Every structure is written in C-alpha cells, then in structure tokens.
Structure 1
Amino acid sequence: MEKRWAEMPLGTQRSIERRLLSGRRKWTGETSVEFKQRSASATLSRIHYLHLKGVSFSFDIDRVTEELRKRDPDWREEWAPSAAFSVGMRTRWVATDTESAELGDKPLGQVLEYAAKISGRSPDRFFVERDPFRGLCETKPVRAFSALALAAKSNWYPTAEWQTFFSEEKRKDDTVRFVLLIIGRLNAFPETFVREFLRSITGWLLKVHMRLLPDYRPAVDRLWMRLVSVLRDRPDSGDTTIVRKARPEWATEALNAPVGELAQFLLADPEINKARGGMGLPHGWKAKCDELLSLPADNRRHALTILCHNLVWLFSIDEEWVTVALLPAIAREDDDADAFWAGFFWGAKLPQESLFIKLKPALLRLTHRNSETRRRHTEILAGIVLAAWGRKHTGNDTQWIADEELTALLVDADDDFRAQLLWYLKNWIEAPDSNWSETALRLLGQVWPKQIAVKTPRVSAALAELAFAQKERFPLFVQLVLPFVVPIDQDYINLPIHEHREDDLIDKYPEATLSLLHAVLTENVRQWPYGLSELLDRIGKADPKLLTDDRLIRLNRIRASS
C-alpha cells in the first residue's frame, strides 16, 4: 500500500486513515483493558510503519502517538519496522525471557534501573517479554535483594520488583541465613512498606516456613507482631485479591488474603502437627490464632475460614479451645457464621460424635433455612446429614439425627438437597462391604416424607435411578419408591437403557420395570429419555404376558401417537 499511496484519490486516503485510527474490533473474551492496550499498540505500529515508508498522513502523527501511548505506555517506536498487517500472523502466546546475565556486572545501585530499561518486548522478538530481574531473583537472589535493600535506603521501594522477589517460587529453597536476613530487613523497614507489601510478605512467609520452624521461632514472632499490628491498625491492608461480585466466597477469599495465609502458616507449624488427640494445642500457637480471630471484619473471617477447614482435626486435639474460639460463630446468622460454614464444608468431613453434638442445632437450623449459605453448601451438607442419620450414639441406640428430624429436614429442604442426599445413598449402597442397602430400605419405608411438595420430577428421577441401581433388590425398591414419584417432565433421569448383561434388570424384572416406568413417564413422548422405545420392546419380550397389561398398552399408545 505504501507504494501506491501517492497515486490514490484523496477520498481513498482519508478512508484508509480513518480505518487505521479506528483500529480493530474487540475480540471475544478480551477484556476492555486488554483491548484498549492491544489495539493502540497495533495502530501505533501500523501508522509508524507507513510513515517510515514515506506515507504522508493528513493527521498529526505526533499528536496521535501521544494519545495512543496513554493506552499503551510500553509501546516503542523501534517496533514499527517489523509491524505486520495480518492480525492472524501476530496472534500467538508471548514467552518470557528471564536471562539476567547483563545484570551481573552492573553496579548494585544500577541493577534495578537497568533491569527496567531492558525489560519488555524488543522489535526483533516481539512475542518475547524480557524480565531479567525475575531471572536475577531466581539465580542470584542475594544480589537481587541487595539491590532492593540499597534502593530502600533512599526510600525507593519499586512495587513490581519487590513483588517479583517475594513471589519467586525458589524462595522456599533459600538458606536459613538468607531468610533471617530478609526478616531482619523487613522489621527495619517503615510501616508504609509493610502495609503496601503485606500480601507479598505473608505469601513469602508461607513459602519459607519449613526453614524457620521450629528452630527460629523468636525471629518469626517479631515479624508476626509487626504484621498483626499493621492488620489491626489498617484493616484494609488485609483485603483479599479476589474481586467480590455478590456474596463473599469465603474459602477463595481466605486463600488469597494476608490473614488467610497467616492462618495457613500457623497450621503448617510442625509443633502442632506432632500433637495427638486430647493433648491440647500449644498456648503460644493458640494466642496467635486468637490474635487473628480478634481482627476486625473480613480479616477475622478469613482466619475463621482457614481454621474451620481443619475444625475436626483441631477439635480432636483441643476440644476446649475450639469450643471457645471457633464454635460461637455459628450461634449467629451473619458473615461470621457464613465464613465458619465455608471452612467447615470445605473440609468435607463428618465430625466426631462429641463435635457433632455441639454442631447439631446449628446444622439443623441451616438445613431448615432457605438461605444462600445452605444452597452453596448443599452437596456436602446433604452427605453429612445422611451419614449422621445413619449413625448411633456411643452407649445407646439413639441416632445422631432421629428419623423424625430427617423427615422434617427433607420437607423443608429444596430439590437440590433431596436429590443430592439420594445420590449419596445410591453411591454408598454400591460401595464394597456396605450395609447401606438395609438402611436405605428403612429410609424409604419409614422416613421419606409423603408430602406433595416433595414429589417433584427431579426427586422422582433420583428415586428411579436409586431403584435401578439395586440389582436383585430392584423389585423391592420399586415398591418403596412408587408412592413418592410423579411423571418426570424434564430430562432428569438416566435409565439403564443400553445395558444387556446377564443380570440385566429389565430382562430379569420386566414387571417391576414396567411399574416404575408407568409411574414416571409423561403423556408427551418428547419428554421421554432417549432410547426408551427399545426398553419397552424388551419388556414385552422378557414377559409376553405384559403385552396385554394396561400399563404397557398405555405407554405403547403414547409412543405410537408421536
């Protein structure tokens, strides 16, 4: 195009200029920030490429460059000669080059500035991002830290470089001497530094805990006091890196928040990992936990979430402390309670009997309550409720959850909870050496609610699948579930349509199969599961007498009318 520019009509030139300046369209999945930066870079490269080739534009290229560089400050004019006009040719992953040899012979005071100067993309390697300081942090960490510490003497704390140093995975392999040196410097830096880099420091502390504990606890304690003091005085410094959209995702937030990482650091302490049931937790360790739990607002909840993820284990070691420090959160229906349940259900463990007794009132309230917390944790909650109903208290015959309590829970719960409970029941019956088959008969015969509100298509599908999974007990389960099922008007059900084994249920128990299908299939054949016609034919072949059965006649009539 550059060769024909001068010969083009003025209108054509202006049209091309408008297209160049308007840039490309936003790609699917590309964020607004990415689009602005990338489109500005492409436009800059193209107009400067053409300008170098002698194209004379009607617009002020210097002014346009100044405006577009606001969207992409990293763009360099030397990229223009290699600019390509085919977007497809330039769409690929950007690799990272961490070669740091050029920093090896630079005076320590020049390392950071020179690293910044040679970082980024070069015109001859556009799809390679240079990050020499990261390479220095990996191969010569002492030199990298020394450069940062020297800059700190001038009150310069470059954000990207400090974050790079702390986040480098090889920090976990640093020597004890180097780690202690870093802690000493961190304790000497001003509070503004600790506040700005708190998340980086706590993440680093979690990496190096194996180097520090238990032999260097005093050094850890001094840094700990500093970090907790900052969190107490400036709670916003403990904010998570996760963007909150609606209700908090406490587990995700805690894993990405300074206090959550401090709680993980405590749980990684080898001293408590040696503890056994009933021994009690170390007083110093509990004091640190109490400090985190006394922090304001979300910081406290991040600690609560991480600690409650380990609730069953902690309770087995120190029942008294857990009862006083953690369990009061469930007495309320607020964010503290939500954070508690987020950690507890994340752990996904059935509590020991003594802990379950303390949790039971709150667990039952949660199951009865139509809340976002219950819906969010339905999968694990249903499993814990079913397992607790199937257990008996030590020394007597009473169940952890009585029959009438489970019936009431199932009435108040939603379809998600009821279907999930039946899913657990089906899978536990199939487990080797399981006695849940007998327990399931009692659940269906004595406990499952008969209220109309519970008889929904989704629950009916779960009950039908439970029955189809029972092999030789299939007819018995069919009789038990029939009073609770209704026609399934959506594609909820997974039937054993394509099974042709020697123990195939349809061929062995055609009448029971017909009874269940007659109860759950609607008058609309389009709502039937795929392949059901073949199944109906197999019923007639397995027992020809059923060909005159009113139920099979009805289903065949519906099939024929489609």
Structure 2
Amino acid sequence: MRFHPNGPSIPDVLLERCDAGRVVFLCGAGVSVPSGMPNFVDLTQYVIEFFDPPVDSEIMAAFQPWLVDQSDQSAVKTPLDQIFNLLHLEYGKDEVNALVTKRLSESLETKDSGREHALIKRISSSQNGVPQIVTTNFDRLFEAEQKGKSLARHEPPAFPDLNFGSTIEGITYLHGRLVDIGSESHPYVLSSADFGRAYLSEGWATNFIRHLLEQYTVVLVGYQAEDPPIKYLLQGLNHDGQYDRSRLYAFDRGLPEDIEAKWRDRGVTAIAYSNHPDLWTSLEAWAGRADDPRGWRASIIAKSQQDPKNLTPHERGQVAHVLRTVQGARLFADTDPAPHPEWVCVMDASVRSANQCRSHGDNAEVFDPRAAYGLDDDLRDISEDERRQGVCNDNLLVWRNEDDNPHDFHRMGGRHLDGFETIPKRLGHLIAWVRKSIASPVLAWWAIRQNELHPRLLHEIDWQLEQEKGLHERARHTWRLILECHRDPRNRQWRGEWFDLKGRVDAEGWTSSTLREFSRAVMPRVSIRPPLGLGEAKPPSSTWENVRPSDLGQFAVQFLEMYDEDLEVPDEILPKVFGILQEQLIITSDLLADIQPASIQIPTCYPNREVNGRELITKGAEVITWFVRLFDRMAAKWPILANAYATTWPLTDRFFFRKLKLYAYSKVNVFHADHVAEGLLSLDQETFWDSDVIRELLFLLGDRWGEFSPESRAQLSERILAGPDQFSYWPDEEFSRLRDKLAAKYARYLELQDCELTAATHERLVEIIGNIPGWRDDWATSVVVEEGSHMGVVGTDETPDAILNLPINAVIPRAKEDLKWDFDSFTEKRPFTGLVKTNPRKALSALTIAGRADDYPVVFWSSLIEALPLDIRPRLRRAFLNRVARLPHAVIAQLRHPLGRWLRDHLAAVLEFDDDLGWAVYDHTVDGILSGGADATKSALGEVHQGGKVIPRSRRTFGYAVNGPVGMCAEALFHAVSGVKPEASSLIPDHIKSRVERLFTAPGEGADHAVSITTSKLNWLMYVDPIWTEERLIPMLAFGHPAAEPAWNGFLYSGRAPWTPLAEILKPLMLDLYPWIEGFSWERDFSSQAAQWLGVMRVFYSGVSSLSRSEMRSALRAMSDDTRSQFIFWLGRVGQQKENSWVNHVIPLIADDWPRERRYRTSASVKAWIGLLDDTGDAFPYVYEAVKRFLVPVETDEHPFYRFTQEISGERPITTRFPETTLDLVNIVTPLVLTRPPYELPQILTLIAETEPRLTSDPRYLRLIDLVERS
C-alpha cells in the first residue's frame, strides 16, 4: 500500500504488524543525515582531513576512490570500516574515536533536526505507544524532544535479553552511544576489527539481532545494501534467500527491480522509493496511522462512498489494504451511506485486470478496467503462460492467508446446510455488504460474471430479497434468475447427462428409475453469461428503470443437448416419455417468457420439406425435432391420445406450442378438418400472421384445404386477403403496400398449391397483385422456404470457352461480365486466366486493344503476368516484355505485387533472353513502383490479430520484405548475379550494385525491405565483393544507423553464423548486441539466433574472430533470461553433435564462461539446465558437476524430469544409470516446501530406491520422500 502516489509500496503484513506493535526499526546513518549529521563517507573524510596522512600513504590510497564518486557502486573501493581500521592502527583507536565524538557533538544548524527521528519513534513503537528502536548511529537524536517519561537506553554489550521476556522498549544503540567530548573512553563500533568482534568472534550484536528477528519484524532504514553494518549483520546471521524474508525489510532508494535484486540474495525484502522526500512524506503519513490505527482506517473507508473510478490507483490501494483485514471489512459493510457498488470491481481481480473493451460504431466508447479500478501495485500485462501458472493480481473476494479458517467447513460428514456454512469473518462482512447492495445493477452484473457464487452469499441474497419490500421489480426478477442459475449444479459441470442416460437405458432399459433420470436430464436450466461488447468489462451505469438485460448479461435457456444421438423409445414406453418431454417443454417455455429473449430459433416441424441448404439447429433445440418425431409416432399409434396432448397446447405460446399445434393440426387422423378450420379462424391477428410459424400455417392450409367446407375456405380466404394489422416496425405510409404484398404472398402460395379460391376471392387477389410493381410468383413460393447453410470447397473455373472464339475486341468486356462467383456451385469463374494458358497471344492482344482505350484491368494483367506459359515463342515473349515496359507508371504501381513476384522468379531468364530489354523492363517496373510513393512499397502482409486485437509488429523485417514489391525487386537482382556462380572477390557488377543502392532510397518501408533482403546475403556478399560490402553494407549494422533494424533482421534471418572475415569486422558490434537486439517487436525472435552465433564464435572460432572468456561472459550477462535459457538449449545440441563434444566444448564454456552472479540463477534457466542434462547420456555426471553451481530450488507446472524416468532410444532412464547424481540434482532443485504436485519426483525416488537401495537412508532421499508423502 502507498500513502502517497509517489511513495514506496509498503507490504500489508508490515503495516498490520506495526499496528500490533510487533515492528522494530533498525536505523542507519541515512536517518540522521537530514538533521545535519555526516554519513559514513563524510565522517571518514572528516577524520582523514584532520590527521592529513601523506598522499602516498595506504590510508589515502584506500580512500581516494571514495572522493571521486560516492554513488559509483561499480568502482572497486576499500570498505570504510577497513579504512577506519587503518586509522586506528596509524593514529590510535582512542584518538580517532575521540575525533568522531567531536564531529558528532557539533551543534546542528538545520531547522528541523530530529524530525525524521520523531516520525520513526511514532511508527516503531509498542502498543502502549512507547518507542522501540534499534540504531547503529552514535548520535542521540532519538532522545531529543522526548515528551513525558524518558526512554530506556541500551548500550553494548548490555542489550535486553528478549528470550527471557525483557522488553525492547526504548533506544538500543547497537554500535555504541555518543559520549561527551571529555570522556576517557569512546567505545564505538567503527573499524573492521570492531565489527568482527560485535558480529563474529564475540557475536553479541548478532545474537541480539537474531533474537529480535525471532520475535519482531525488523525494518532497515537509512542503509544501503553495501553498508558495513548490513554486510556484517547478514554475514553474522548467515542470512540468505532460504530465510523468511517477511521478517526483515529494508527501505532503499532506486528502481524497484534494481533494489529488489540488491537485497533479495541477502534474504531481505526490499521496499524501493524514488527519492528521500517521498520516503519521509510516506513515513509521516504512516506515523499518523500508527498514532490512531482505528481512526486512520475509518478515514480510508470513508473514501469508499465515492465512485472508485474517481480515485487514484494508490487511493484505491489504500481501501483495498483496509479490506484485507476483518476490522476493515466490517467497517466497510457497516458504513452508512453504503459504499459505492462499483467497489466490487476493485475487489474482484478478474474484473479490474480484464482487457479493455469497446462499444460498436464510429464513435465507439473504449473502457479500460485497469485504469478505472486498478490498484497501484497491480501486475500489468500478465501473459497467458503466467496466468496458467497461477500468476494473478490480488483478489480480495477469496480466502487469504491472514483470514481465519473455520474448521467445521472441512469435514467429511455432518456438514452444514447450504447457505448456513461458517465462513471466514472478513468474507462474511463482504457478503453482508453485497447483500445490502443488491439494489444496484452493478452487483447483478458482477454476480453474472462469476462461475459460481458461494452458497452463503446465495442464501444472504435470497434473504434480502424477502426483506427488501421496496426493491424494484426488475431487480427482484433479475436476482431470482441469477439465484436460479447459480443454484443449478449443471451450470458448473460438464453436461454429459445425455450420454449417462443413454448408457443407463442401454444397460437397464426403461425402468421407473431411468424415467426419473430422463426427467432430470431433459429439465431446462437458466444460463447467464457475461455481456458482449462494452459490458464485458464495464458495469452498467443505469438504474433498474433504464438498464437493459443485455447490459447485465446474456440470458438464455439451455435445453438438453442430444449430440445427434437419439434414444430408442419402445412403443410401450412412448406415452410416458412423450409426456415427460412435453412437461419439460412447458417449463422451458415459461423460462423463456421470464428472460424474454430478443429472438429464439426453433427448428421447423418439416425438416425435409422446402429447405434450401442445411437447416441450422442451435444446441439443445434438436430436442424439438425429436419431440416432433415422437409426436408423429403418437399420432400414428394413439391418435386420440395425441389429440388429447395437442389440444392442451396453447396457441398463445410463441416459443414452441404455437408452431407445434399448427403442425399437429396437419394430422388427418388426429384432428378433424372442421375442428382445424375453426381453430385457425379463431386465431388472433398476431398469431395468424406470426412469421415464425408461416411454414407450419401454409403447409397446413395447403395440405388440408380440400378437406375444409366451402364456408371455411371462404372465411379463411377472406382472412388472408384482409391481411395483417400494422406491425410495429412498419411505417405508417408503407402500411397498405406491405399489408397487401404479404397477403398476396399467402393467397398466391395457396393457388400455386392447387388450392381453389372462390371466383370473387381470385379476382380480388388478381387486383391486389396488379397493384404490386414487379410481382413475381417466386415471391409466393419462397415464403415457405427454410434458408439453411451451404457448405463446400470454393474453387475456380478457368475454362476459356466463353471468350475463346470471340473477336479480340470483345474478349475483355465479356471476361469482365463472367468474372463472378457462382455461389450455388461454389465456383469462381476465371475464363481470362484459362485464355492466357491456352492462347496467350490472344490474351495479350486483347489487353493491348483495351490499353488503347486507356483501360488496363488489373485483374487481367495480373493473370497474364502470373499465368503466362514459360514455353511461349520468342516473338511473343518479346512482345510481352515490350508491352510491360510501356505500361503507365500508375498501372505498374497497381500491379506491383504480381510484377515484383515475376521479376524475382524470371529476371535472370529474361536477361539471358535479351539483356537490354530485360533491364528496360526491370527499371521501368522499379520506376513505376517508386512513383506510387510509400503506399506502393508496402508489404502485402497486413496487421497480425489475436483475440480481436492488433498485435504490434515491426514491418522493418525480412518476413515483410519478401512479401513487399521492393523486396522482391531486390531479390531479383541477387538472383541475376547468383546465376553466374561468381568466385571469391570476383565482385558484384556495378550495374547491379547501383540498382541495389537505388532501392535503399525507396520511399516508405521499401528501403527497409531492400536493406533486409541485401543483408540476408551478407556472408555471400562478403565472399564475392568484400570491399563494397565493408564500405556500403556493414556500416548499416551500426546501432545508430537509420537502417540498423532491417539490416540486423535480414542478417539474422539468414541463419548462418558470420563467415570468419566478416566475424572479425562485426565482433565489436556482436559483443554489444544485447540488450539492443531484444527491443524489437519482430514476427520472429532472433535474440537466441544471435546468442548462438556468439557461442559459435566462442567455441569454434580462433584468433581475432573468436571471443575471449570475459567477452562471452559479458554477453551472457547482457542477454535476457529467456535468451540465456535458449542458449542453454543450443549448448545441448552442440554437446550431442559429435563424440566428446560435451567434454571438449560444452563443459569448458559452462565452467569457465557462465556468469556466477546469483541473479542469473532463475527458474527459467534451471528448467533449461535440466533440459540440457536429460540429453547428456554417458556424460551426465561430468556435465552435472559443471552445471551444479547454477541450480537453485524452483517450482513449476511443467514436467522437467519426465525424460529422467523414461527409456530414450533404447537406453535405460538416466535415473537408473546414475541414481546418486540424479538424487543430488533433484534435491538441489526441489524447494524446502512444495505448493504444487511433485509430478515425476515420486517415480524418480522409486527408481533410485530400486537401483541403489543404500540411498534410501541418504538425508537427501529422506527429505524428498517426506515431501512426496506429505503432498
């Protein structure tokens, strides 16, 4: 949590322990510097200047580097405690220390001296408010301005014995307290000898700090990681990364990643801050909190009544910090007025960490939940791999380590009823707040986003719905649907009930039990998914009066999914199965009425009648088709029973039964025609003209028209010709026309089905149709056609028959007409392409004639360029080349891609055919492309999309170059040269080089593409034309050159390590390649490729082009962790190349060159080392000895030891071949505590025990087997 936007982020656990009086500040010189006290360097300088040792003395030689730049941590400097040791030896300890006393006793001139000490005393205090401070400073500023009772003082070596209950209250001077100037003794810990006694040989300081850490959390302030007190303290404690880092914290200035790296290996949790004023501003605010934790907490919770979007990230972080405690959550829940409902979006990490979303339209709103709800310490841009590994932002709505853990919830029997479970107190208070806030649509939106709500929360919401009488009806209705959705277990598990039921029926038959199971399986359920568009991440801002259901979620009713597999239903069980299915359809219809979907697709009752294409049936709706088939069987076998069922179906139900009843009316043996006619005539207008049942109505009328009485037919005809009432979406001025048109479609359809109308009705229909412009009878027949989907493979038809025998001047106009896609046959017609292949002369002539009219159809010119046969006669070839050479520049720009490809593939052959004409075509093509400007030089590759978002990619790469017209033109030039097979230093012809260099000046991205293509051939060019390469091309690889990015990308794309003469020139650049090369968003990551080249130069090259040990090590240090890991994999391939490669090449590089710093021993590198080791074969023990020092404990979701348990290429597993070495490896990389399953560890230990039983008593084995047995 941050007290201020630019302040340090202080861990929650530290703040909470401070509230409990369990934090002690250990203060260094940096605390006293603002009050005018010297730091250690200034104090040393003061003493040295007083004694004025000779310039060539050991003291001056040791101190000189400190005078140059105190902040330069990279310079080699003698530690200041050792310089004081030299001073003690030269001038005497008492005299030197007396001088220290004099300097520290000087009066302070700063106005606010002691301000920082006063703040720390307020923070680092017991629950009684008594300061409890440890300091390595000698000054007495902590004693200044002490109000009330004076503080206890503790001086070395008489420290309070914390193991025997002594209090730490007061000031503990760890290195001594400033004495008066006239004192005989000045007992300070200053020199290396003093530090050695205090922390090592006598160890009284070490013992005191060790006991302090056992009982308190210690915070270091006023130190740097390199300060002598810290060095000796941690050395004395033997403190490293294996210790609990939550017991020891340190404030330090700098970037978080730098500060954390400096302190991590010392076993200290670093808290970074940007500058000293920011630190003291935050500590001042912390002191205010420490004075009154409850009051501070209340002031923060008061902010929760504001919209969190109006607060800054650090202010939201403060509220989140308070909500992580029981007291804070209770205060939040009890606050009146209630906190703003959108605080649930802050608490839920999945909401505030979601990706930004946008609405639709030109002025689309963009909403970024991370900006609206994010906390100041949230992780940004969590990758998918990290998400899979469990990396996420802090979620305040889940159990936390600091929460209580009610034991009665964890029991195998006798559990509480759902909704009455005991829950951690903090979450209980947050549940109470959610319950009180259900009047806000925001909470409904949030609840819909959840995969599952806790039964206790569901019960609380249910209770609130009963109690809150004034709740808006839409809110009550929505919450009831949400509760129904979350309480249905089928929404939380795989819906395989149909397969389970089918299996039971196959095994047991249709018993009473399976019928009950069938009833449960076909029961519909409410399903609610998060909304689409803007609402996916942004909660609704409207009230219940104005909010739309789609703003809250996607409400749906899920039917049974049958997966295209029917159940066999015998006749004797059919009525029961049909009855159950009908009952569930009634429930489904009621649910649909509740959620009021905008539309629902119910399959037709006539799936094989008048269907164009394949009918699209949504998941679950196939049960309707099955129901219809069952009804057909019922109607055939038990027509009276079928009539009884269908009679109950309400025609007012617009979802299922309106359509089903009209279908049932079509059954001659179930319903008498008079009853059907009466039923149809009784339909209201909305039902009769419902477009969703148009097929069922018109098929019914057409099939049974002849059975109806003349009176019924006349009435039905009149009903149809009268037309529908005005639909809501019909404009008033169009109503009459649209009504008559729809009525005419219905009536004319019946006539076309041989349904006889009365003479008067027919005449009226003729009159209506006569008033409809452009009437066609297929309007009537198509009214019942069910349009489905069409599937097939789209192909092209290049048959030229349609234009083959036409006059030349008629070819292009007709080809344009035929250039269309025949949807029904999935065929795209390309007759002109066929003409190019069968009669290229006619095709060229047709385009020539069109060109005289200034018509240059790009599609046909593209066909000619790309499909022109290679075996045409020379005269035709020459005509083609001349015609291309005279195309207007604007046309060339449009044809840039097909012409670029053609030059790339054919320029060498054209030059061989006619050199002058070939270069004329080439130059004219390049002129045309360049005349089109930046747009004409763009690559054909577009943007890369992933998950609906554009992935940033650089276009200055070889991958884009080979798909760009300028890149293709550059490729053509090099193909023209390489065909000659030039020898070493035979030089590239000047007319080629001049054209290459011209392409370097192309507009837009064209120049980059030419550079990238050229540098991809850098090794070959260095061999053929070293002078031009060194003078013109290699300078582009300099990091400051404008073309450096495409130059390096092309060079690396080649995949070939630099040729030795080239490596000699490029070596300085290669050594500085990292991290520069890792800063580009290329479609391929070439960082590992460059690392492999450095490895080749180190391992296989000699002389000037080779790398020294220190150069290789420096390069490895500069690489990213991922690149170093990839380099390790490459070493594994080197080791497997030849016999003895492990010993001759890999082991020396690992042992001699690999950086030894601990920060390079990461989880990624450890996994890479294990991957290298599992392929070492017989060299495994030797390689492991080299790798061992670089391994650290790691946990992973992957299976790094899989190959250690398997036979590979017929060889026994590594574990059985080298059991003790494997045991040592596994022991080193396995943490002391496992939080994830150990995967292969049990199998490895089993193989070790079987292969080498004596190792089962080895301490390493015993530790690991204990971890396995506890997991």
TM-score (norm 1): 0.82
Residue matched to 1:345: 1052
How far 1:302 sits from its partner (Å)?
A: 0.8
SS in 2 for 1:367: coil
**Counterpart Cα distance in 1 of 2:1188 and 2:1123:** 20
Residue matched to 2:1115: 409
**Counterpart Cα distance in 1 of 2:1230 and 2:785:** 61
TM-score (norm 2): 0.38
User: What aligned pairs does 1:73-472 form with structure 2 within 5 A after superposition?
Assistant: 85=786, 87-88=788-789, 90-122=790-822, 125-168=824-867, 170-236=868-934, 237-244=936-943, 245-248=952-955, 250-269=957-976, 273-333=980-1040, 336-369=1043-1076, 371-373=1078-1080, 376-393=1085-1102, 396=1103, 400-433=1106-1139, 435-472=1141-1178
How far 1:234 sits from its partner (Å)?
A: 3.6
Instruction: Encode CA deviations 1:206-255: one digit per residue, 9 max, x unaligned.
Output: 33335312341101221222233334444322222222453225112111
**Counterpart Cα distance in 1 of 2:894 and 2:772:** 40
Residue matched to 1:11: 686
SS in 1 for 2:922: helix
Q: Of residues 473, 476, 499 in structure 1, which corresponds to 2:1182?
A: 476
**Structure with greater helix share of residues:** 1
SS in 2 for 1:96: strand
The structure with higher relative contact order (CA 8 Å, sep 6+) is 1
Residue matched to 1:485: 1191
The question of whether the paired residues in 1 share the 8 Å contact of 2:958 and 2:1050 is answered with yes
* Cα distance change of structure 1 residues 235 and 494 upon mapping to structure 2, 3 Å threshold: farther
Residue matched to 2:1230: 521
The question of whether the paired residues in 2 share the 8 Å contact of 1:94 and 1:129 is answered with yes
Residue matched to 1:544: 1253
**Counterpart Cα distance in 2 of 1:171 and 1:535:** 65
**Counterpart Cα distance in 1 of 2:1160 and 2:785:** 64
- How much is the aligned-residue C-alpha RMSD, in angstroms? 3.6
How far 1:10 sits from its partner (Å)?
A: 4.5
How far 1:419 sits from its partner (Å)?
A: 1.2
* Cα distance change of structure 1 residues 85 and 172 upon mapping to structure 2, 3 Å threshold: farther
**Counterpart Cα distance in 1 of 2:1251 and 2:1081:** 45
Residue matched to 1:23: none
Judge which range, 215-224 or 114-123, deviates more: 114-123
**Counterpart Cα distance in 2 of 1:292 and 1:61:** 64
SS in 2 for 1:439: helix
Judge which range, 422-431 or 521-530, deviates more: 521-530
Instruction: Encode CA deviations 1:414-446: one digit per residue, 9 max, x unaligned.
Output: 122111111111111111346353221111211
* Cα distance change of structure 1 residues 191 and 475 upon mapping to structure 2, 3 Å threshold: closer
> Among the aligned pairs, what percent are the same residue?
21
Q: Which amino acid aligns with 1:509?
A: F
**Counterpart Cα distance in 1 of 2:1252 and 2:831:** 78
The question of whether the paired residues in 2 share the 8 Å contact of 1:279 and 1:317 is answered with yes
How far 1:179 sits from its partner (Å)?
A: 2.9
Larger Rg: 1 or 2? 2
* Cα distance change of structure 1 residues 423 and 113 upon mapping to structure 2, 3 Å threshold: same
Instruction: Encode CA deviations 1:332-366: one digit per residue, 9 max, x unaligned.
Output: 34661111111111110011111012222222222
**Counterpart Cα distance in 2 of 1:316 and 1:61:** 81
How far 1:311 sits from its partner (Å)?
A: 1.1
Instruction: Encode CA deviations 1:63-85: one digit per residue, 9 max, x unaligned.
Output: 9xxxxxxxxxxxxx99x979974
Q: Which amino acid aligns with 1:486?
A: V
SS in 1 for 2:1002: coil
**Counterpart Cα distance in 2 of 1:95 and 1:521:** 58
How far 1:139 sits from its partner (Å)?
A: 2.0
How far 1:460 sits from its partner (Å)?
A: 0.7
* Cα distance change of structure 1 residues 111 and 219 upon mapping to structure 2, 3 Å threshold: same
How far 1:15 sits from its partner (Å)?
A: 5.5
* Cα distance change of structure 1 residues 379 and 140 upon mapping to structure 2, 3 Å threshold: farther
**Counterpart Cα distance in 2 of 1:62 and 1:291:** 64
* Cα distance change of structure 1 residues 137 and 412 upon mapping to structure 2, 3 Å threshold: same
* Cα distance change of structure 1 residues 434 and 474 upon mapping to structure 2, 3 Å threshold: closer
How far 1:374 sits from its partner (Å)?
A: 9.0
The question of whether the paired residues in 1 share the 8 Å contact of 2:1037 and 2:1047 is answered with yes
Instruction: Encode CA deviations 1:276-317: one digit per residue, 9 max, x unaligned.
Output: 112111222212212212333421111111111111111111
SS in 1 for 2:827: strand
The question of whether the paired residues in 1 share the 8 Å contact of 2:1216 and 2:1251 is answered with yes
Judge which range, 192-201 or 344-353, deviates more: 192-201
Judge which range, 509-518 or 194-203, deviates more: 194-203
How far 1:409 sits from its partner (Å)?
A: 1.5
How far 1:172 sits from its partner (Å)?
A: 4.2
* Cα distance change of structure 1 residues 538 and 116 upon mapping to structure 2, 3 Å threshold: same
**Counterpart Cα distance in 1 of 2:818 and 2:1244:** 70
How far 1:200 sits from its partner (Å)?
A: 2.3
The question of whether the paired residues in 2 share the 8 Å contact of 1:241 and 1:256 is answered with yes
**Counterpart Cα distance in 2 of 1:221 and 1:554:** 77
Q: Which amino acid aligns with 1:403?
A: R
Q: Which amino acid aligns with 2:890?
A: T
Residue matched to 2:1263: 554
The question of whether the paired residues in 2 share the 8 Å contact of 1:214 and 1:270 is answered with no
Q: Which amino acid aligns with 2:884?
A: L
The question of whether the paired residues in 1 share the 8 Å contact of 2:1075 and 2:1119 is answered with yes
Q: Which amino acid aligns with 2:807?
A: P
* Cα distance change of structure 1 residues 370 and 219 upon mapping to structure 2, 3 Å threshold: closer
The question of whether the paired residues in 2 share the 8 Å contact of 1:411 and 1:451 is answered with no
Q: Which amino acid aligns with 1:510?
A: P
SS in 1 for 2:1205: coil
Instruction: Encode CA deviations 1:485-510: one digit per residue, 9 max, x unaligned.
Output: 11222245244233245554312321
Q: Which amino acid aligns with 2:840?
A: P
Q: Structure 2 unaligned segments of length 5 or more: list them.
A: 1-603, 611-661, 664-679, 696-740, 750-764, 944-951
* Cα distance change of structure 1 residues 188 and 472 upon mapping to structure 2, 3 Å threshold: closer
